[in-house]
Amino acid sequence: MTTYFTIGDFILLIPMALAGALFLGAVPCATQFRHNLLRALGVILGVGVAVLLVEGLPALI
């Protein structure tokens, strides 16, 4: 069964990206570059988890 993203599914992406940025942005590090790199990685991981959640939740129900 193929499902497509609806506009309601995209509402979850922004909060998850923000949560990932805040979570990994809170890790203490010495340089500003590494701090920004961790924030960007957190955004990517947050969006990835949101996509897995949106795609996997209908399969679990």
pLDDT of residue 37: 95
Instruction: Please write the tens of the pLDDT for every residue from 6-58.
Output: 787 788 888 999 999 999 999 999 999 999 999 999 999 999 998 888 888 87
43 part of a folded domain: yes
41 part of a folded domain: yes
Number of domains making up the chain: 1
Q: How far is CA 36 from CA 24, 42, 49, 51, in A?
A: 9, 10, 20, 23
Which of 42, 16, 17, 13 minimizes the C-alpha distance to 27? Answer: 42
CA–CA separation, 20 and 14 (whole Å): 10
| Whole-prediction pTM | 0.79
6 part of a folded domain: no
Instruction: Please write the tens of the pLDDT for every residue from 11-25.
Output: 888 899 999 999 999
Residue range of the domain that includes 34: 11-19+28-53
